[in-house]
Amino acid sequence: MKLRCDYCFEDGRGCGLEKGHRLHHIPTDEVSHIEAHLKSKMVVKPRPFLKWVGGKTLLLPELLKRVPKSWNPNTDLYCELFLGAGALFWELQPKRAVLNDANNELYITWLALEHCFENDMYAALRWLQHNYPKKPEACYYHWRSLRLPEHAIGARAARTIFLNKAGFNGLYRVNKSGQFNVPWGQNPNTNVFDEENLRACAVFLQSIDVRLRDSDFADCLVTEDVNLRGALIYLDPPYIPVSKTSNFTSYTTEGFTYVDQLRLVQYAVWLRDQGAHVILSNAADEVLIESYRRCRFTCDLVSARRSINSKASKRGPIGEYIITGG
């Protein structure tokens, strides 16, 4: 039987993926065909679906050099305990993973992709894609002020993705009472819904053995029934501010203090003692780095461009450390 998409009148080839094509325009008896088609078109490697501040896309070449040759993404465990947008996770695409981030809204967003909440999420994002360009600033502040019910996972995930895309510079910052307070990014043309990539991310997450968690880094693996021997653990905490004006540490209400940094040193030692390979990135704070050296970690100063400063001229290459052990 010849199948066709009711929207573009094609016989299956090329339908469903083009901008503006909608699965709900397709009669139900053809949906499975279209889904199969979407999956077959999934040559696009899923990539981070958020532009998370502190994201490590630019640091990937340096991080990849330090992934041990013995670690196999098809069989060995991968743990990322400060997940953010998960740049290294998407690059490595491991088949077994524990992914953790203390930011609950971020966790909900990953959860929506991994479970079956994605239809609600896609519907809300489709609505936003259509309505945001009409009144971008008002739309942004309206969605920023929304307090969605706890169980509305799909809508909460859509809100987080939308605020991340339309907000200023991919920042995630909350005030003392935990309310997201990043201003509008002033771009009325932002594409708030990259459907192809979101679907690719969802398909991948649903195809692997993944555990998503939203605890403090130190609690996450302790409660998991996992053998860490041979696992690859990537730790990318909020960086210590390198200057008085770069004090961005408020991804969560609690923030990330110097004491937390020192707890992380101890935790990295514990992970290494369990037989895991540890890779950690952090700002070039020599006092802290010395703590890692004293615990016999290898500390390499590398250079990457960070994009949190609003002035492009001030986003210059800055040194940061990649710390490895085990």
Ligand X SMILES: C[S@@+](CC[C@H](N)C(=O)[O-])C[C@H]1O[C@@H](n2cnc3c(N)ncnc32)[C@H](O)[C@@H]1O
**Smallest Cα–Cα separation from 181: which of 251, 101, 104?**
251
Please identify which residue in 238, 282, 289, 304 interacts with ligand X, judged by CB under 6 A.
238
Residue in the shown chain whose Cβ atom is closest to ligand X: 84
Q: How far is the CB of 103 from ligand X (least distance, A)?
A: 3
Report the C-alpha gap between 151 and 266 in whole angstroms: 36
Q: Which is nearer to ligand X, 6 or 219 (CB)?
A: 219
Annotate 10-32 with b (16+ C-beta within 10 A) or e (fewer): eeeeebbbeeebebeebeeebee
Q: Which is nearer to ligand X, 26 or 304 (CB)?
A: 304
- Provide the 3-class DSSP secondary structure of residue 307: coil
Q: Is 321 in the site for ligand X (CB under 6 A)?
A: no
Q: Is 236 in the site for ligand X (CB under 6 A)?
A: yes
Q: How far is the CB of 81 from ligand X (least distance, A)?
A: 6
Question: Which residue do the tokens 């605020």 mark?
Answer: 163
Report the C-alpha gap between 313 and 155 in whole angstroms: 37
Q: Which is nearer to ligand X, 132 or 172 (CB)?
A: 172
Altogether, the residues listed in the chain come to a count of 326
Please identify which residue in 82, 110, 143, 321 interacts with ligand X, judged by CB under 6 A.
82
Q: How far is the CB of 47 from ligand X (least distance, A)?
A: 11
CB 228 within 8 A of CB 221: yes
Rounded alpha-carbon distances, angstroms, from residue 34 to 21, 23, 42, 129: 11, 8, 12, 22
Residues numbered 187 to 226 that lie near ligand X (CB under 6 A) are 216-217
Contact partners, residue 300, CB within 8 Å, separation at least 6: 62, 321, 322, 323, 324
Q: Is 297 in the site for ligand X (CB under 6 A)?
A: no
Question: With contacts defined by CB under 6 A, how many residues of the chain interact with ligand X?
Answer: 24
Q: Is 30 in the site for ligand X (CB under 6 A)?
A: no
Q: Which two tokens stand for residue 229?
A: 């021997």
Q: Is 285 in the site for ligand X (CB under 6 A)?
A: no
Q: How far is the CB of 194 from ligand X (least distance, A)?
A: 16
Q: Which is nearer to ligand X, 53 or 125 (CB)?
A: 53
Please identify which residue in 15, 63, 77, 85 interacts with ligand X, judged by CB under 6 A.
85
Please identify which residue in 132, 251, 297, 321 interacts with ligand X, judged by CB under 6 A.
251
Rounded alpha-carbon distances, angstroms, from residue 271 to 22, 232, 258, 326: 46, 10, 20, 9
Q: What are the residues binding ligand X (CB under 6 A)?
A: 52, 54-56, 81-82, 84-87, 100-103, 106, 216-217, 236-238, 251-252, 256, 260
